[in-house]
Structure 1
């Protein structure tokens, strides 16, 4: 689900790109979350010899040597960075309009990255070719479609280097984390490095906390929201790796009547009170409206969860490293533990 573009028609891919929450003609910019100390593992060891990896398309990618010149979607690159794997170039939300690191860039130093494209629909093929790429890595929200790789340029891009695609939907967070860790290990990461071991332990502890919170507070209902000027989108939990996992841990979510695309229901601001919720998780991506931007909308201000101060960020496009995902679970657990029943 993840950048910033103007769309000529509301395709599922385009709507996901605008936050899974913006309408056609709207714009959007992330498992990101706050930067965490110790997020980056020890520098990956140099590996030599043939390399192979079977991605989530079932495609086995083989090269004569471990790829070094890697180009990846920003959030995926940020996950690899936490394991000590650094890429040469990125595409996807990397810098905000003021030049700062986008939430999806994690702990990477964006000043050192070659940015192939910063918004949805933008991918500079010439820049990409000049990097002499050995591997391209991207998330996959729809089967066989690489996220943020423009369809009109896909064949040309594919001809320059082999690609690896990893599911961001049709899986849960736990499985997505394991797949990203496995990819990092194949590229030289040491999964037994202490920072990685500690981060995984924090994640497991946070998952146990969230499970306990959901069990102790079964009456608390959570709504997954995202906002544009015209519409408020309520997402279906089972469609994304993060919220599916939270649901599996026992969190009770609002279940919207999704459109034909299957990911969310778009409501006018007059209808925003259609669903009752005790906690609202709001899309944290940099190009969607944030709660502070919605104060002028009276229907938003009247929502019980808003009046109770029970609105938290949702890391809509997680950076799939244990270091980044552990705080996400802890934040939701805390919100459920402390929430007042207002619905």
Structure 2
């Protein structure tokens, strides 16, 4: 008798499962034909949960369509099935909203922090709402959950002060927008690189040599940081130079500005609309010192612009007979007492 009931329930399960699988395949094929910008994300995330929903739906239909089975285990299994559906829907929407948010940010010019902590918080809030919904369905008063969560949160906060400090420091970094993903920054210890990610624990900086520097958020908040992309990505390039005391400074200035202007107009990354200028700064030990100021559209181009300018200015000075001095010493030998 038990074997017969088991076979009958299995038959009902299979009969209900087949049309649902066909329906799933039809809907997935339909999603493939739609514009993939948004629906491609839905298709990718829904593949596995949709199978789980079909299996749970078939089990639920079996429970409802086969009374003997429902009488023995119906109440418990019904709650279990619906609880699993609520949890799976919660995880599905948490992943879906997070990925759609990531996609929307990447496709727009919206000034929004592109960091992992934002997507993690989005998932966390949706999961909390799902858990509250599940507790309400199971008949557990939500106030008990909130009270337990508050007491547990207090205990966790005392035990994880350092972790929470990094977490809230990360939120502070994101909210202030003084440091964002993609910015070129320099730390007070001399480390320099591009901000790759701001997580809930640390900030990852990619150096120019490709290595990563991982900084706890609490330390970054309390550090002196130079951000080369704030308030604008345009940046001045200052090149120190020196010429001999015997050179004509008017000629030096005219020739230097001519070369600097050529660099500004011809080198990729230089600002073609910027008028370079020079400023004499001091009388040095071996010559007259001055600075040449150029500008790049992004700090990444400062090295190539400086590279081309130094090459061209040396060649131009040599052709015009302008001397770039180097340190020299004069030794006077007295013949007194000989």
* TM norm structure 1: 0.21
* TM norm structure 2: 0.22
Please identify which structure carries the higher helix content.
Answer: 2
Higher relative contact order, chain-length normalized (CA < 8 Å, sep 6+): 1
